[in-house]
């Protein structure tokens, strides 16, 4: 009889341990951050270019006079991919604007759109997917314009977990476009 009670107690303990183990692994799986939770996409600096810089750097981008320095860092995922044009490090994506009524994508002839034009509109004829592994970061500069002074802007880019997964659009933090300070 004592042996049966001990056997039942051991069996119940094993069952309870298995239940706790399964429940614990479900909780861990649900709370574990996704592959993109370890990516940081941020605006590092925003500044108005000097006259000389504007002449040199914006020959093909009319009306831009502001430099925005951006950074994409992978602080934990083994490796992810970000999309660029061939032979470039600057990611493919959009400029966005935040207003009292929501976020708008600033996209070519369409102007302001309340939804993302999506990956297909952003992608180059043959986009290049670049590895960004744990501990790596990439920085680049993008343009903006003081004619939008006071507006809140950000940029987006596209990443994916592996070579076959669907691209996901990530946002940088928003910044306020500076005004042009004229010297008297």
- Tell whether 28 and 47 lie within a shared domain: no
181 lies in a domain?
no
State residue 60's pLDDT score: 65
183 lies in a domain?
no
- Tell whether 69 and 92 lie within a shared domain: yes
Number of structural domains found in the chain: 2
State residue 110's pLDDT score: 63
184 lies in a domain?
no
CATH number at 47 reads: 2.60.40
- Tell whether 82 and 44 lie within a shared domain: yes
State residue 109's pLDDT score: 67
- Tell whether 96 and 24 lie within a shared domain: no
182 lies in a domain?
no
- Tell whether 20 and 68 lie within a shared domain: no
- Tell whether 75 and 151 lie within a shared domain: yes
- Tell whether 27 and 118 lie within a shared domain: no
Q: Do 60 and 54 contact (CB within 8 A), yes or no?
A: no
- Tell whether 129 and 60 lie within a shared domain: yes
- Tell whether 17 and 66 lie within a shared domain: no
- What is the full per-residue pLDDT of the chain (184 aa) written as tens digits? 544 554 454 454 444 443 333 333 222 222 233 457 789 999 999 999 998 888 887 666 677 899 999 999 999 878 999 999 888 888 999 999 999 999 999 976 667 889 999 888 887 677 889 999 999 999 999 999 999 999 999 999 999 998 889 999 999 999 999 998 765 4
pTM equals 0.76
Domain range spanning residue 3?
Answer: 1-32
- Tell whether 15 and 76 lie within a shared domain: no
- Tell whether 107 and 171 lie within a shared domain: yes
């Amino acid at each position: 009889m004592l042996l049966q009670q001990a056997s039942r107690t051991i069996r119940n303990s094993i069952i309870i341990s298995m239940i706790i183990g399964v429940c614990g692994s479900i909780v861990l799986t649900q709370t574990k951050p996704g592959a993109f939770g370890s990516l940081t996409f941020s605006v590092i600096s925003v500044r108005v270019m000097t006259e000389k810089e504007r002449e040199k750097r914006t020959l093909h981008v009319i009306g831009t006079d502001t430099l925005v320095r951006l950074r994409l860092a992978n602080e934990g995922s083994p490796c992810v991919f970000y999309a660029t044009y061939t032979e470039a490090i600057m990611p493919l994506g959009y400029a966005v604007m935040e207003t009292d009524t929501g976020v708008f994508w600033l996209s070519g002839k369409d102007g302001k759109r309340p939804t993302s034009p999506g990956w297909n509109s952003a992608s180059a004829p043959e986009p290049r997917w670049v590895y960004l592994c744990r501990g790596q970061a990439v920085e680049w500069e993008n343009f903006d314009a003081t004619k939008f002074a006071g507006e809140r802007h950000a940029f987006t880019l596209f990443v994916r977990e592996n070579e076959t997964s669907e691209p996901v659009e990530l946002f940088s933090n928003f910044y306020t476009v500076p005004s042009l300070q004229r010297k008297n």
